[in-house]
Structure 1
Amino acid sequence: MSQRSNVTRREFGRRATASVLMTGVGLARGAQKTAVLPRPLKVGWVGTGGRGTGLLNNALKIEPGLQVTKVCDCNKAAATRAAEIITKHGLPAPKLFTDGDWAWQKMLQAGSLDAVIIATPWKWHTPMAVAAMNAGITPAVEVPCALTSEECWQLVDISEKTGVECMMLENWSFRPDNLALLNMVRAGLFGTIVHVHCAHSHNCVDHWFFDAQTGADRWPAEYLVRFNRDQYPTHSVGPVLSWCDINCGDRFTSISSAATDSLGINDMFKRRFGADHPSATRRYAQGDIVTSTLRTEKGRTVIINYDMQLPRPYDNRWMLQGTRGVYSEERNAIHLAGRSSTPHGWDPFPPYEQQYKHSWSTQSPVGGHGGADGVELRVFFEAVRDRRPLPLDVYDSVTMSAIVDLSGQSIAKNGQPVPFPDFTRGKWRTTQPKFAVDPLFAKQ
């Protein structure tokens, strides 16, 4: 949605709670999964800024006959541009909802939607997704889907109560390299997975948190002032969930996090805008680097780095280690016991990526991030249309997102471990892996 918003936190909380009550409880979608929808999908779009518009362009390319019938943004000009994109694809003009920050309530109450895409600033994600589920509409919400443990539980409770599923749009779970690696893991090439390292190493202070030209705050900047935590863990940990069978055979049990001091933001402003810029001396709560260690029920460890405030090229630094081998995304290489060319050397990963290419990756890429944006939307729409389970369910979505709040809790306790909630309420013990299951590469 537009970056312009004058809603206070108190008013936001009051109105968000009211929206949950106003929408009422819709029919459980689980009770409707008896047949494929006999018509094109009807989808609503909330948020038509840069990310929302990019997703819209991708969706119109990959889903023939998709009907985007409602568009909402408090910035009328942005919503109008989105409507023009839709009509240029030969589709009817959508109904626009642009009357302030809460116009989405009217859109979701209007009915006749199968799904809604939510691509707004973070604070709106949970209330919008909750309202959608209560209205019987399947939400696909941008990352993270929740900012607090309470919001995570709210999403789980409403999904279970209504029978309506909710999927977070974690596109890195759908990257071709990560899907190929998943096929290799499931084929047993790495043996038993023991440890994974991951990171979101992406300098965002010079263009995303702040305006690139003036240094003025953009909407995410307030979180750097107010909080010290892993603000953006889902791109790091998203693929790790499937590699480690989290929520379907294993689960996170605790998290311990530590943060460095905050130095990089002030230094960037001094270099780019001068020592007199207000942000050159402003106090930021957010440490430059956050390191979190998660333990699982089966004794695995997962290390996650938040690294978004220092000068550096982009990197996710995935490393997966098992009893029979190791994969390094940084090296784009693997080593497999008994298979690699030398006892202590690396072999290139691309030949393995080609051999174990996932069926989702065989179509021509659509959208950014190596086609991952297109794949996640395609499989979401297919699941809603065919009345099948979503590829990433509400439990996966909140497990990734809960790291935001839990890492902050641990940092505030000087790195003491914090228990990780079991959002599945024990179902992880009997749930079978379902994300991106590619039968050709299942372990024999």
Structure 2
Amino acid sequence: KPSAYTRGNTDFIRMCENEELDLVYNATPWEWHVPICVAAMKNGKHAATEVPAAYTLEDCWQLVETAEKFKKHCVQMENCNYDRFELLTFHLVRKGMLGKVMHAECGYLHDLRAVKFDYNGEGLWRRAYSMKHNANLYPTHGLGPVAQCMDINRGDAFDYLVSMSSNSRGLQEYVAKTFPEGAPERKEQYVLGDVNLSLIKTKTGRTIMVSHDTNLPRPYSRIKKVQGTKGLVEGHPERLHIEGRSPAHK
């Protein structure tokens, strides 16, 4: 019979201390990703976490240093790396069909207004980040597959970035439309810009644009654009152009 660990929010520490486990898989609200991974590795377990793994440079280094000290793997589980179109793009890059990859565009564009106000699910914790942070809160769904295509940390690396956000209006208008006068949601203040754009330069001089938008009405998209010297792959809609093989541009 499985053991239950229900003695408060940090009872995962007791689990990591007591159980003989190979790996601890972490699918909790974001604030617990680092503490759970650290507790697992300190107690001799490998750690795997849902994204995002961490939100501060200090926490990122804590994961790295703990993994190195205790010689345990700490893996960020980015499932979008393994979607059909992302794997097709990765295969085309590896085969040289696109030539040298020079630029990519990606993102997480997902109308989460209803999710953020769902009191039976992620809304219990996810909306709070829209009140505390003005940034790209969820970059890796788009950036993970692009990083594979650009050999990030396997020959190239991110060098620096510039990031900016639009004003914040989407959640305010959603609240005004959805909740009656006097509802506590009407008193909340949101700082997350509706659209965040980040431009990344790599060590070898290539560029990446990463977008984030979870506050506005829109169809889902991760953009999925990889531009090489010989061709282009682009998603939503999915398109492929190989110079000399695809119909000429008109």
- For normalisation by structure 1, the TM-score amounts to 0.54
1:267-326 deviations in whole A, cap 9, x for unaligned?
011122245434345321111000000100011111011110101111111111000001
Are 1:220 and 2:126 counterparts?
Answer: yes
Q: Please report how far the alpha carbon of residue 169 of structure 1 lies from its aligned counterpart in structure 2 after TM superposition.
A: 1.2
Match of 1:337 in 2: 243
1:181 aligns with 89
Residues 354-407 of structure 1, C-alpha deviation per residue, up to 9 Å, x if partnerless? xxxxxxxxxxxxxxxxxxxxxxxxxxxxxxxxxxxxxxxxxxxxxxxxxxxxxx
Aligned pair partner of 2:100 in 170, 173, 192: 192
Aligned length: 250
- The 1:183–1:124 alpha-carbon spacing in structure 2 relative to 1, beyond 3 Å, is same
SS of the equivalent of 1:108 reads: helix
RMSD: 1.8
Which of 8, 11, 26 is residue 100 of structure 1 equivalent to? 8
Structure 1 position 210 matched with structure 2 position 130: no
Among candidates 19, 26, 49, match of residue 141 of structure 1: 49
Paired residue for 2:28?
Answer: 120
Q: In proportion to residue count, which structure has more strand?
A: 2
Q: Tell me the equivalent position of 2:218.
A: 312
Query: Which residue of structure 2 lines up, in the alignment, with residue 162 of structure 1?
Result: 70
Measured in 1, the distance between the counterparts of 2:138 and 2:237 equals 24
Matched AA of 1:103: D
In the superposition, relative to structure 1, how do residues 131 and 281 fare at CA in structure 2: closer, same or farther (>3 Å)?
A: closer
Larger radius of gyration: 1
Is 1:268 aligned to 2:162, yes or no?
Answer: no
Question: Structure 1 counterpart of 2:220, which letter?
Answer: Y
Match of residue 76 from structure 1:
none
Alignment of 1:359-374 (within 5 A): none
2:206 aligned with 1:300: yes
The answer for the alignment partner of 1:87 in structure 2 is none
**How many percent identity over aligned positions?**
36
Does the CA-based 8 Å contact 1:266-1:281 persist in structure 2? Answer: no
For the Cα contact (< 8 Å) 2:179–2:185, is it kept in 1? no
- The residue aligned with 2:195 is 289
Structure having the larger proportion of residues in helix: 1
Residues 270 and 277 in structure 1, CA contact (< 8 A), matched pair in contact too: no
| Structure 2 residue corresponding to 1:232, chosen from 127, 138, 142 | 138
Q: Report SS of the residue matched to 1:116.
A: strand
- C-alpha deviation, 1:328, in angstroms: 1.0
- Find the aligned partners of 2:81 and 2:48 in 1 and give their Cα distance: 14
One-letter amino acid of the counterpart of residue 291, structure 1: L
What is aligned with 1:321? Answer: 227
* 1:267 and 1:280 in contact (8 A); partners too: no
Change (3 A) 1:235 1:241: same
Mapped to 2, the partners of 1:212 and 1:324 lie a distance apart of 49
Structure 2 gap ranges (5+): none
CA contact (8 A) 1:111 1:135 kept: no
Which structure 1 residue ranges, 4+ long, deviate > 6 Å from structure 2? none
Are positions 1:241 and 2:241 aligned together?
Answer: no
| Structure 1: runs of 5 or more not aligned | 1-92, 346-444
For the residues of structure 2 that align with 1:275 and 1:111, how far apart are their CA atoms? 50
TM-aligned CA deviation for residue 124 of structure 1: 0.8
